[in-house]
Amino acid sequence: MPAVPMADNPLASRIPAGSSTPAGSDAAPYRVWVDSPAAFSTSEAGRVQHNFHQHPLVQLPRLAQLAQELWPKGQCRFMTPEATESSSLASALRLRSPDGRRIDEVFRRIEEPGAWVALYNIESDPSYKALLAEVMAAARALLDKEQADIFRICGYLFISAPPSVTPFHIDRENNFWLQLHGRKTLTVWDHSDREVVSSEAVEKFMLEASLEDVKLDDSVRGLGREFDSGPGDGVYFPSTSPHMTHSDTSWVRPGDGVAVSIGVVFYTRATLRDARVHLCNHALRRLGFSPAFPGKHPLLDAIKEPVGSVLARRRKEWPDVTAFSYRLARD
């Protein structure tokens, strides 16, 4: 989900190595785990399990309170009723509800079909900043050495009554996506598949936060992996993995008609490295080259990364590089 600009994002808890409770430990009241640890990889989307749906901070009355706090800060987003999986996410999201309701009224009528609200950058609230750190501590044992240095933890809550969708898009961060209430289907594509989203489109998004060229082509629908998810289900997927969600009405029962999920997103040393490579690739492409996507040639990436960092420092001389890229030079 596109974030509030990085300069406006407060830094969430940085988790030093060795500070976590291992996933699956009985010592932790809330856990994140996988059924087959040997099959789990941070380089691809994979199913996880959790019990954070029982946490008091993610129950609807408490989420309504959080929304009241975030509303004046512009941290609530609403989906246009006509949005589809193929819609442009940027154009489908609004700062105000489509019918002009205030946030308290939105939550009073949240079970009405098609209701949809997202709470952005919930780490701005100290209680939820701690919740996100708790999720990441519980999940740390699942991360390999490549993704071990976790920082800039941010969170997004999605609350909707079916039928509802979140359109096809990509994110800069890695994501632990957890279903908390109701049911939803998350579809994720391989982040390294250039047939799904081109290198140029990924670079434009990484540098300019533009999803203009990130579009769902019906010919690649079958390449996505669907995760039908209920409370306690979750999915990990790496940075720039194309994804979308939908929820239908088949599961709705009286008193159980609202789908709630949370995206716990984070950066690592590896994601920053890849972002710097994207910056270098963008420069090379402007010079007429066709550079390889990050991860294809690690030795070349090792050369490109410092070049990308230098380019980030020259943001003022390169107008189409944004504040995000500039921060890559400083972290």
Same structural domain for residues 54 and 152? yes
Number of domains observed in the structure of the chain: 2
Quick: pLDDT tens for 243-279: 999 999 999 999 899 999 999 999 998 998 998 999 8
Give tens-digit pLDDT for 95-109.
Answer: 999 989 999 999 999
H or E stretch at 281: helix 269-286
- SS3 at position 205: helix
Q: Is 25 helix (H, G, I), strand (E, B) or coil?
A: coil
- Whether residue 303 is contained in a domain is answered as yes
Residues 70 and 157 in one domain: yes
More confident residue, 308 or 119: 119
Q: Are residues 212 and 277 in the same domain?
A: no
- The CA distance from 19 to 312, in Å, is 32
Q: What is the pTM of this model?
A: 0.86
SS3 state at 173: coil
Domain endpoint, select from 269, 293, 318 = 269
Give every strand in the sheet of 150-160, ordered side by side: 32-33, 46-50, 233-237, 174-181, 259-268, 150-160, 116-119, 76-79, 93-94
Instruction: Please indicate, yes or no, whether residues 299 and 194 belong to a single structural domain of this protein.
Output: no
Is 219 in the same domain as 287?
no
pLDDT in tens, 54-79: 999 999 999 999 999 999 999 999 99
Is residue 16 a part of any domain in this protein? no
Residue range(s) defining the domain that contains residue 179? 31-269
CATH number at residue 41: 2.60.120.650
Looking at the fold, whether 208 and 289 belong to one and the same domain comes out as no
Identify whether 102 is part of a domain. Answer: yes
Inform me whether the pLDDT recorded for 23 exceeds 50. Answer: no
In a shared domain, residues 265 and 289 = no
Q: Kindly report the backbone phi and psi dihedral angles of residue 147, in degrees, each rounded to the nearest multiple of 5, phi listed first.
A: -115, 20
Percent of the chain's residues with pLDDT above 70: 86
Single-letter code of the amino acid located at 241: S
What are the angstrom distances between the C-alpha of 35 and each of 79, 142, 186, 246, 248?
Answer: 34, 11, 19, 25, 27
pLDDT at 146: 78
